[in-house]
């Protein structure tokens, strides 16, 4: 039996979270077209009977020399995630050119002692044709290279095969029914944050956090969820609530729809927007 941690790294928006969801065949991480969607390392567990267990770790995307407290916190999570690892999946986005941010990421990836697989993603996209050769040229610096689409699932069997070849022997780290390390509250908070990110424009998503206070099944079978959307300034609060409350209504509706299909229960969602300038400093 093989067993161990496969940490997924890469700059923001390359498709790390889409990949982990597709590899573990469950939505453990939220995904949006906006950078800095992932805020915490998230584990997704793939148990392969008779072969072993892979614990994937999704990480926040690396951003270029940003000095704001949130980005600094996310960079620390990336560094922390690279401590206890067996193998690394270094994900690049074939639709984008290699800029300074990728060069930073490349430096980190090359400095890792454990086996690193270069994962060239988004090969399903027509736009990957112009840039893909630049990424292919990087292959000689790594233990292996695979061209995939996290969206369609192409070549993911090759990723898993490479991981199993490079993992140490060992027993399961999680029971075979467990798919993620997140609590219910954390998972619900992430779904709401995804809907928030999808609806808000410009910098507003980065001023927000979601805190879930209560998840309780009532006698009538309805799941009652109480959550706050925190934002750093009054003007952002107004933008989130929207004209006549339309914004918060839509965020609530789309969150509830997904939470109902996730839990197979009827959901009552009590969602409030609050100003709290200090939520970043409370991230652990
Ligand atoms: N065409 C195409 N789009 C993809 C693929 N994988 C991811 N995407 C899109 O790329 C965007 C970013 O995906 P995420 O999975 O959130 O990216 P991430 O690397 O986790 O981003 P951060 O958490 O912000 O670092 C989303 O709009 C995805 O739908 C792919 O294989 N093909
Ligand atoms: Mg992500």
Helix axes 184-199, 246-263, angle to 10 degrees: 140
pLDDT in tens, 169-183: 999 999 999 999 999
Kindly give the distance from the C-alpha atom of residue 41 to the centroid of ligand 2, in angstroms, as a whole number: 9
Burial 97-109 (b: 16+ CB within 10 A, else e): ebeebbeebbebb
CA of 20 to the centre of ligand 2 (A): 9
Q: How confident is the model at residue 284 (pLDDT cuts 50, 70, 90)?
A: confident
Q: How far is the CA of 49 from the centre of ligand 2 (A)?
A: 28
**This prediction's pTM:** 0.96
161: pLDDT strictly greater than 80: yes
User: What's the CATH number of domain 184-282, 3.30.300.20, 3.20.20.100, 3.40.50.720, 3.90.105.10?
Assistant: 3.30.300.20
- Assess whether pLDDT exceeds 80 at residue 65: no
List the chain domain ranges. 2-166, 184-282
Q: Indicate which atom in ligand 1 lies nearest the CA of residue 10.
A: 19
Number of continuous H segments (helices) and E segments (strands) in the chain: 8, 9
Give the torsion through C-alpha atoms of 38, 187, 193, 93, to 10 deg.
Answer: 30
How far, in Å, is the centroid of ligand 2 from the Cα of 10? 9
* Integer Cα distance of 169 and 127 in angstroms: 40
Among all ligands shown, which has an atom nearest to the Cα of 101? 1
Residue 205 Cβ contacting ligand 1 at under 6 Å: no
Torsion from C-alpha of 147, 153, 159, 161, nearest 10 degrees: -130
pLDDT at 274 over 90: yes
From the CA of 61, which ligand is nearest? 1
pLDDT tens-place string over residues 84-116:
899 999 999 999 999 999 999 999 999 999 999
Atom of ligand 1 nearest to the CA of 14: 19
* pLDDT attached to residue 166: 98
Among 44, 150, 197, residue to substitute to test ligand 1 (most atoms within 8 Å of Cβ): 150
Pairing state of beta strands 87-93 and 267-275? unpaired
Please report, in angstroms and rounded to a whole number, the separation of the first and last CA atoms in the chain.
34
The residue contributing the CA closest to ligand 1 atom 27 is 33
Where residue 63 falls among pLDDT bands split at 50, 70, 90? Answer: confident
User: Which range (57-71, 117-131, 208-222, 241-255) has the least confidence?
Assistant: 57-71
The fraction of the chain above a pLDDT of 70, given in percent, is: 99
The enclosing H or E element of 195 equals helix 184-199
Residues in the chain, total: 284
Judge whether 185 and 212 are in contact, CB under 8 Å.
yes
263 lines ligand 1 (CB under 6 A): no
Beta carbon of 15 within 6 Å of any ligand 1 atom? yes
What is the CA(155)–ligand 2 centre distance, in A? 20
Tell me which residue of 48, 47, 38 sits closest to 14, measured CA to CA.
38
Q: Is residue 158 lining ligand 1, measured as CB closer than 6 Å?
A: no
> What is the rounded distance in angstroms from the CA atom of residue 14 to the CA atom of residue 35?
9
Query: With respect to CATH, is domain 2-166 assigned 3.40.50.300?
Result: yes
* Atom of ligand 1 at shortest range from CA of 38: 23
């Amino acid at each position: 039996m093989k067993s161990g941690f496969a940490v997924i790294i890469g700059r923001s928006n390359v498709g790390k979270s889409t990949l982990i969801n597709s590899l573990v065949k469950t939505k453990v991480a939220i995904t949006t077209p906006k950078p800095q969607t992932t805020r915490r390392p998230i584990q997704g567990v793939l148990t392969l009977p008779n072969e072993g267990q892979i614990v994937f770790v999704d990480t926040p995307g690396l951003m270029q020399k940003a000095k704001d407290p949130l980005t600094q916190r996310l960079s620390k999570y990336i560094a922390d995630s690279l401590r206890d690892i067996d193998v690394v999946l270094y994900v690049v986005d074939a639709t984008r050119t290699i800029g300074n941010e990728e060069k930073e990421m490349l430096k980190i990836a090359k400095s890792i002692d454990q086996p690193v697989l270069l994962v060239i993603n988004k090969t399903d996209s027509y736009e990957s044709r112009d840039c893909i050769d630049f990424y292919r040229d990087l292959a000689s610096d790594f233990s292996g290279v695979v061209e995939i689409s996290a969206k369609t699932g192409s070549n993911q069997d090759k990723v898993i095969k490479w991981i199993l070849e490079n993992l140490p022997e060992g027993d399961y780290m999680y029971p075979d029914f467990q798919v993620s390390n997140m609590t219910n509250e954390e998972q619900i908070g992430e779904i709401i944050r995804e809907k928030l990110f999808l609806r808000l424009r410009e910098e507003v998503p980065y001023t927000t956090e979601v805190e879930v206070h209560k998840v309780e099944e009532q006698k009538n079978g309805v799941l009652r969820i109480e959550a706050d959307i925190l934002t750093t300034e009054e003007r952002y609060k107004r933008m989130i609530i929207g004209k006549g409350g339309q914004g918060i209504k839509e965020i609530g509706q789309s969150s509830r729809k997904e939470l109902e299909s996730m839990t197979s229960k009827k959901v009552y969602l009590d969602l409030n927007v609050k100003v709290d300038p200090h939520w970043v400093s409370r991230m652990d």
